[in-house]
Amino acid sequence: DQQVKQNSPSLSVQEGRISILNCDYTNSMFDYFLWYKKYPAEGPTFLISISSIKDKNEDGRFTVFLNKSAKHLSLHIVPSQPGDSAVYFCAASVTGSQGNLIFGKGTKLSVKP
Amino acid sequence: DAEITQSPRHKITETGRQVTLACHQTWNHNNMFWYRQDLGHGLRLIHYSYGVQDTNKGEVSDGYSVSRSNTEDLPLTLESAASSQTSVYFCASSESVTTEAFFGQGTRLTVV
């Protein structure tokens, strides 16, 4: 049973437009959420995180929104750039579990020039 | 600079052989993790450790073991490699529950 779901395997966006990547979770105990970016043949790299006490966190072109009642979070990239083309993983954890991250299956983002 | 390194980067082994993948981090992080990445499954947790002498099973731990004799290393052992264990393996470490995990470059393991 998947606790973290990314229902869109892929997303294609034009350069300069907004990219919105979605993630749903089922475990109401999750209280810390992260997004990772992964290029081919490399390890995932941390992008942005959000605690459940917030509903928004922004870092430059990247913003993560959290809707706890819907158990849904989204990553917005504005404006999208070709270098953003990668697989994006959503991850969640229960802080009492000492950082055991549960990942979604990932969404492959392609940003077209 | 502190880092996390995995070795080897690529490994081909035969069914039934014992294989050990190395993971070494220089951040002095207490938390270390092993994940495998497979098409259609994303990243799945194999084993994790919260400190020296501590090890815990993850979602897909069958056929794998880990040991934590020091802070820096968490080797992953496949006791008897099976074709179903062909995958890309990632090691990660983190400082605490509210900080991000840092990942190694991955080890591509092929079991023939």
Helix, strand, coil percent values for chain A (each to nearest 5): 5, 55, 40
> B107: exposed, middle or buried (C-beta count within 10 Å: 0-12, 13-18, 19+)?
buried
Chain B CB contacts of A95 below 8 Å: 97-98
| Residue B104 sits at the chain A interface (C-beta within 8 Å) | yes
Strand partners, A94: none
**pLDDT, tens digit (0-9, with 9 covering 90-100), for B18-63:** 999 999 999 999 999 999 999 888 899 999 999 999 999 998 999 9
Calculate mean pLDDT across residues A1-17. Answer: 93
The closest alpha carbon to B37, from A106, A45, A47, belongs to: A106
What is the model's pLDDT at position B98? 64
Q: Are B43 and B35 contacting, i.e. CB atoms less than 8 angstroms apart? A: yes
Calculate mean pLDDT across residues A80-106. Answer: 87
Chain B CB contacts of A101 below 8 Å: 33, 45, 92, 101
Among partner residues B42, B98, B99, which is closest to A103 by beta-carbon distance? B42
On the question of pLDDT at A99 being above 90, the answer is no
SS3 for B105?
Answer: coil
Chain A CB contacts of B42 below 8 Å: 6, 89, 103-106
On the question of pLDDT at B83 being above 70, the answer is yes
Residues in Cβ contact with B39 at an 8 Å cutoff, skipping those fewer than 6 apart: none
SS3 for A107?
Answer: strand
CB contact under 8 A, B94 and A99: yes
